[in-house]
Amino acid sequence: MEFDWDWIARNTDSLGEHALVHLRLALLPVLFGLLIALPVGVLCRRWGWLYPPALTIANVFYAIPSLALFMIFIQYTGLTASTVMIPLTLYSLSVLVPNVVDGLASVSDPVRQAATAMGFGPLRRLLRVELPIAVPIVIAGTRVAAVSSISLVAVGQLIGQGGLGYDIIRGYQLSFPTQIIAATVLIVLLALVTDAILVTVQRLLTPWARVRGKVS
Amino acid sequence: MNDLWNQIDLFWTWLTASSQWEGDDGIPHRTLEHLYYTGVALFAAAVIGLALGLLVGHTGRGGFLAVSVANVARAIPTFGLVLFIVVIDYSITPVLVALVALAVPPILVNTFEGVRGVDADAKDAARGMGMSGWGVLWRAELPMALPLILLGLRTSAIQVVATATIAAYPGFGGLGRYIIDGLARNDYQLVVGGTVLVVLLALIVQLIFAGLRRLVVSPGLLGTARSS
């Protein structure tokens, strides 16, 4: 088998285009997932009895294969991007909801009491104290969700919405390994870059972690 | 809700048609194929993931490397890997290799985290009781890491059951056959039938692991033991 560099050179434009579509299909669901998981996590933390049912629902979705979930949604949303993005959003919830809850649980009681003593109301305490402390655990979950979402999108090509999945299937149909490798490697690269960006975001959001590291 | 009823009805007529239960394209044969792919891949992944995870967790060396490699492996799209190796060597082995690659990271990472998270005092106590390195690993670290190890195995098992459907795309069997063929023939009933069977299989796997957890994990770790 030979790797066809010429083909890569001739097709950088279309590969780049597919990569952008791929990122959009993969990361918007994670963003939606976060937007849902944050309030749900806060509510679960506030009323503990909500957590077990919420977790069970999230886990049930996780047990459904992506291809199967795409099929189920075809009926409702047709062969559109939503059919890929809604299942991916549901998947991200199974990682994000527990991580938001764990993150909020990692705030120690003395810290919470200190915030109250300083005159923080419940909302301001949540936004200024509890959520910032939860950031590392929430981001850890976001990284897992983002990476698996990026690698899952390719399957969406079976219903015509797969970003770089197009090149994987095309390469398979033409028995042309170069195109499959190119797309697969690009997907891994997208995942690694996204992961690195999330780590950077975490460092920017938690400046105290760095300071503490230097002092000790 | 009407749609949901339609889907259930569709699935039921499909499932109960007698022709579905015989021959190479029958449900029993396809399910066995699916279980075969899943079982082989999961067994190989468990051997690799447990061995590496226990080793790295017990010695405490190479943990960062192992977790990083596992996380990169998570980013590899199974779909791409399957089709790529199938183009080069058309047989079921590459499909199994791709499934193993999918299943190793969760097992490895959870085993490692489980063993590493074992209370240092408990390990000291085990050593103080005269256990050797192997003794500590088998009789203290492994049992205490079991809840996390089972969680890793469960995650992998569900992912493999779900992803083994992809084997049907390059022309192998398993329950994915129905989904892929149904898509190709625009036969929605077939798609729904295959989908529901895979989901049922995944749910059965969940139940098996929930049962295993009760059976093999020490009650002291589950918080179900009486404190008196």
What domain range includes position B133?
Answer: 24-219
Lowest mean pLDDT among A34-43, A58-67, A85-94, A153-162: A58-67
Tokens of B65: 């490397």
CA–CA separation, A134 and A45 (whole Å): 12
Identify the pLDDT of residue B42.
94
User: What are the CA-CA distances from residue A200 to residues A158, A203, A204, B32 (Å)?
Assistant: 34, 5, 6, 46
Nearest to A168 among B72, B79, B199 (CB): B79
The answer to the question of residue B184 being in a domain is yes
ipTM metric = 0.73
Minimal Cα distance from A60: which residue of B?
B203
User: Does A19 touch chain B if contact means CB atoms closer than 8 Å?
Assistant: no
User: Stretch B84-97: mean pLDDT, rounded?
Assistant: 80
Distance from CA of B155 to the nearest CA of A (A): 9
Q: What is the dihedral of CA A18, A22, A28, A34, to 10 degrees?
A: -160
Distance from CA of A119 to the nearest CA of B (A): 37
- Report the CATH number that the domain containing residue A90 is assigned in CATH: 1.10.3720.10
The answer to the question of residue B5 being in a domain is no
The pLDDT tens digits for B61-74 are 877 888 778 877 88
A185 neighbors A168 (Cβ within 8 angstroms)? no
Minimal Cα distance from A74: which residue of B?
B188
Neighboring chain B residues of A171 at a CB cutoff of 8 Å: 83-84, 87
The answer to the question of residue A1 being in a domain is no
Residues 6+ apart with CB under 8 A from A188: A151, B72, B75, B76, B77
Contact yes or no for A151 and B75 at CB 8 A: yes
B30 neighbors B177 (Cβ within 8 angstroms)? yes
Number of C-beta neighbours around residue B27 at 10 A: 18
B82 neighbors A156 (Cβ within 8 angstroms)? no
Contact yes or no for B179 and A68 at CB 8 A: yes
User: Stretch B205-214: mean pLDDT, rounded?
Assistant: 86
Within 13 Å and on the Cβ side, how many CA atoms surround B185?
A: 11
A65 neighbors A189 (Cβ within 8 angstroms)? no
User: Does A66 touch chain B if contact means CB atoms closer than 8 Å?
Assistant: yes
Task: For residue A174, report the phi and psi dihedrals to the nearest 5 degrees.
Answer: -95, 5
Q: Structure pTM?
A: 0.81
Residues A100, A112, A120: CA angle, nearest 5 degrees: 105
The answer to the question of residue A213 being in a domain is no
The pLDDT tens digits for B48-60 are 999 998 888 888 7
User: Stretch A190-196: mean pLDDT, rounded?
Assistant: 91
A33 neighbors A92 (Cβ within 8 angstroms)? yes
The answer to the question of residue A17 being in a domain is no
CA–CA separation, B114 and B139 (whole Å): 14
The answer to the question of residue B61 being in a domain is yes
Identify the pLDDT of residue B228.
44
The answer to the question of residue A13 being in a domain is no
Picking from B49, B179, B24, B34, the residue whose alpha carbon sits closest to that of residue B92 is: B34
CA–CA separation, B217 and B145 (whole Å): 9
User: Does A76 touch chain B if contact means CB atoms closer than 8 Å?
Assistant: yes
The pLDDT tens digits for B154-196 are 889 988 998 888 888 887 888 888 888 888 888 878 888 888 8
What domain range includes position A186?
Answer: 28-207
Mutation target to probe the A interface, by most A beta carbons within 10 A, among B7, B79, B87, B159 is: B79
Distance from CA of A200 to the nearest CA of B (A): 16
- Report the CATH number that the domain containing residue B168 is assigned in CATH: 1.10.3720.10
Identify the pLDDT of residue A215.
46
The answer to the question of residue A75 being in a domain is yes
CA–CA separation, B228 and B207 (whole Å): 31
Distance from CA of A165 to the nearest CA of B (A): 8
User: Does A165 touch chain B if contact means CB atoms closer than 8 Å?
Assistant: yes
The answer to the question of residue B19 being in a domain is no
Which three-class secondary structure state does DSSP give residue B111? helix
Say how many domains are in chain A.
1
Say how many domains are in chain B.
1
Which of the 8 DSSP states describes residue A47?
S
Nearest to A154 among B79, B162, B195 (CB): B79
